[in-house]
Amino acid sequence: MIAKETNLQGCFILEPQVFEDARGYFLESFNQKKFCELIGDQVNFVQDNESLSSKGVLRGLHFQKGQYAQAKLVRVIKGAVMDVVVDVRPDSTTFGQTLSIELSEHNKKQLFIPRGFAHGFIVLTDQAIFSYKCDNYYNKASEGGIIYNDKNLNIDWKLSPETFIISEKDKILPNFDSIEL
């Protein structure tokens, strides 16, 4: 596995070594020791989550605040998504900056997102199975979020907004300038 640091402080794109032959493929999707060496930090994941979504489903931008902040390691098992993160760490040199990356079953890339980031994705294919590890347990009272179409963030979701399928909760999230950290 190789790790490439992104333009956002602490975010890494991870690319596994894939072994393919006539039978299919094999890859090591996670190895705690190698992962921590690659990112230069000790992260202990405690929860795995998975979602199935249809084309146009936009989930996010979500984060957990305070003692319930979560680092995540995200990947796509089936299909493709445009994955987006926003640095919401006020003391970070990349505060307010975004990163977008296509994650798919074909490129098999993963994205490590440290604590202090909002995260979201939109499904680009007919369906996508999205999987992620978290280093902290979910706490409803610590939820935070940013509206997907914040004008200052200017995120390109790669699909026409008329095709978006968004939860009622995500439609009323605040702008980046109004979030409570």
Active site residues: 62, 132
Q: How wide is the angle at C-alpha 138 spanned by C-alphas 132 and 140, nearest 5°?
A: 135
137 Cβ contact list (under 8 Å, min separation 6): 46, 47, 68
Which residue is associated with the tokens 């970070």? 92
Tokens, residue 92: 């970070």
* SS3 category, 31: coil
- Nearest CA among 143, 153, 160 for reference residue 175: 153
- The CA distance from 14 to 8, in Å, is 14
Cβ count within 10 A of residue 171: 12
Whether the Cβ atoms of residue 123 and residue 165 lie closer than 8 Å to each other: no
